Structure formats: structure tokens, C-alpha cells
Amino acid sequence: MLVAVAAAPHAAFAQLALGVQGIGVVTRAQAPGDATITEARLVEPVAFGSFTGLGGRFTVQAMLDGEGWTMRGGALAPGDWGEGYYDRRHPHTLVHEVIATLADPVPLPGAVHWSLAAGKGFAPFGTDDPMNRPALLFPVDHHWSQILERAVAVLAVRRGPVTLEAGTFDGDEPERWDEWPKWSRFGDSWSVRGLVRPADAMELQASYARVKSPEDRAGAGPTSEKVSVSARLERTLASGRFYGLAEWASNSESNGFYVFHAVLVEAQWQRGRWRPYARLEIADRPEEQRSFGDPFRSPRPPNDNSLLGVTRWRTLLAGLGAGLPQALRGVRAEAIGEVAWARVTSLEGVFDPASFYGRTQLWTVNLGLKLAAGAGMHRMGRYGVAAGAMSGMTETGRMPGMDHP
């Protein structure tokens, strides 16, 4: 749903956009203990919206996520990890994002534009939320390449194709889906990001973050130093639309005692209602002690001896989305199928993938049906003048070119 009130011809004084979506997914995957599991979950059941006023200078964007209800206990996803989950994607918090932004509150000379943003959302670091990207299976590097669901304040300055962002936030990541940031820790972590857009179709990104005690909510854990570099291309060609992303990420903990790396390349080609896509990823993952009786969970907060080793995941993923005829007025539908193959090896420590999984090669198959209505999902994590020309979303709820018209 999109509502606009015009103050003058061709100039919108205020605009409100609202949308919803959800994806029903059946997953069959090889899991710990030499088992094969089949599960059904409703993932990404989200309601989102944005309000723009003051001639485009003031913006509020928000997203509510119901995964705490629909995928309580996580969604089966070999390779995924974070917030105490292993080989399951953890549910995001109920309030995934709510950010208010004011652009150019005081005009600056020399074609320099700037903005202030504050609320709960994404720190200015890394690449896009996987919900804004083609695949159903989240990448292994999700917690290396994004810092999300924090209380943040972000200053962004743009001149021509160059944007610089600086933000401060609380270091603690959520431990439960209904949890708010620990407000007393706001400001103990910070990040900076540089964006260069040499053309409307291309975005180059480099960022650094210093995150205090992300896995220990009380603040007693080690500090993480994170680096992310990426290039993103999206352009319309004569016969369709291409999207591509290449990223490299590094995470150093305990003054460099542990260093994790990740490299990812993904691409999608959309023509009409069809959108084939693929991803190649090589990513390191910490392996912690699992909770008693549950191989998919690790205790939170972790103790000093919980890290058992480091594994490396090499993952190949291929998928296809196909737009379906509209059965209900205003409701868009897409069928999605994807297959992922992962090979996991031990880099260091006592964790043995072959013993834990019963194999070192794991297969995952996802079959999904996505339903969406209203406006398309906005691009999360780019606020104010940092949004730039690549911030728009299609009415179908993904980046332009990621869904059928």
C-alpha cells in the first residue's frame, strides 16, 4: 500500500508505504548425528513500512518480524549459526528495525549532504541483510558481514559519488527474539563505512567495526574487530536484469587470537517471471560446546572454554524463483526451489566434523512459497544520504530484479 499527499504538482509532501510478506518453506537437510531431517517453517513473516515527510528530508522506516512465533527453536539450515544456534537460522527479534532519519537539517555549502539517523536497526557496516537478497538459505558469514538489531546512531555525509558513515551502538547481540538492546551498553561499540557509487548500477563498500562483547550481554566477553569489503552490481540489460555481489569479511577476537575469514560471490538473472540464482561461499565458523541434549544450540553466555575449534564451510547453492499467476487480488506469489551442497573441514581445535555430522559433505534442499502484498520491502541498513540511488525496492519485496513483475 502506498499513500501520498501532494503539496504541489510533482512534489510529494508526505508518503506512507506499507507491506507484508512471508515464505512457507519445507527443508530437507543432513544434520548432526548422521541424520536426515525434514521440517516445515514459516520464515520471514514480516510487516514493514516507511513514512517520508518534510519534502523527503524526514523518514521513518520500520519492520516487525514474527519469526519468534513461527520458527521458535530456529529453522533448519546447515552451516548457519549465531545467537546460540548452530545449523539452524535463529529467529530475528520482534522489532527488527525502527529508524528515524533527518536529512540536511542544516544545509551545507559545496553540494555536501548529510543526515542523522537513530533507533534500532543496522550499524553502518558490511553488506545487505540476507532478507534483501535472492536465496532462502542464509550465508554462513551472516554474523561476520552484518551488525543488526542494535540501538544505533549514525552520521552520514555524502559528496558526489562518495559517502562516509560513522555510527555508535551497543555491542550485545540479542539472546531472545523478544529482547531489546541493553540500553546501558549503548555507545560501547562503533563502526565506520565508506561507500562509492561510480555509477548508478555499482556500489563499492569498505567498513570497519569494533564490537565489545557481542556474545556476552553483561559485557564480560572479548572485543571483536570486523572488516568488510564488497562490490555490488545491479543493472538492466536488453533481455533481463542482473544482480551480483562479491564480498570479503574478517573477524578478529581476543586481540587476534582467533581470526575468521569469509569470501562470498552471488548472482541472479531475472527475465520475466523467472529468476535463477547461485552463490559460492567459503567461510570460517566457530564451533562451541553444544547444549546438553540439543546439538543445535550452545549455552548463552558462552564460558571461557566453550570454543572447541574452527571449521571452514565451502558452500555451493543454486536456486530458481518462478512468479505464479495472481490468485488473490493484491497478493503476489512466487515458488522457490534451491539446493545447497556444503563441505566442512576442521581448521583447528578438537571439533571433528566427520564424527559430529557422520560425514563432511552436507546437502540442503529448500522448497518455498512466498506471498507478499502492499509495498516492497525497503533496503535495510542504508539510512539518509547513504541510501543513494540503489536504495529502492520493487513492489514485490526484494531488490529490483529479484522478483517477477
Question: Which CATH number applies to 2-390?
Answer: 2.40.160.10
Q: Name the phi and psi angles at 108, rounded to 5.
A: -110, 150
For 31-62, how does the pLDDT look when each residue is reduced to its tens digit (9 = 90+)? 899 999 999 999 999 999 999 998 889 999 99
Across 328-342, b (16+ Cβ under 10 Å) vs e yields eeeebbbebebebeb
Per the CB < 8 A criterion, the answer to whether 165 and 192 are in contact is yes
Report residue 146 CA to chain centroid gap: 6
CA distance 27 to 74: 12
**pLDDT-derived band at 256, boundaries 50, 70, 90:** confident
CA distance 118 to 102: 9
Average pLDDT, the chain: 90
* Distance in Å from the first CA to the final CA of the chain: 16
Q: CA neighbours within 13 Å on the CB side: how many for 341?
A: 3
Residues in the chain: 405
For 336-348, how does the pLDDT look when each residue is reduced to its tens digit (9 = 90+)? 999 999 999 999 9
**pLDDT-derived band at 327, boundaries 50, 70, 90:** confident
Q: Name the phi and psi angles at 387, rounded to 5.
A: -65, -50
Domain coordinates in residue numbering, the chain: 2-390
Q: Name the phi and psi angles at 131, rounded to 5.
A: -65, -20
**pLDDT-derived band at 8, boundaries 50, 70, 90:** very low
For 176-204, how does the pLDDT look when each residue is reduced to its tens digit (9 = 90+)? 999 999 999 999 999 999 999 998 899 99
**pLDDT-derived band at 127, boundaries 50, 70, 90:** very high
DSSP letters of 213-257?
-TT-TTS-SPPEEEEEEEEEEEEEETTEEEEEEEEEEEEEETTTT
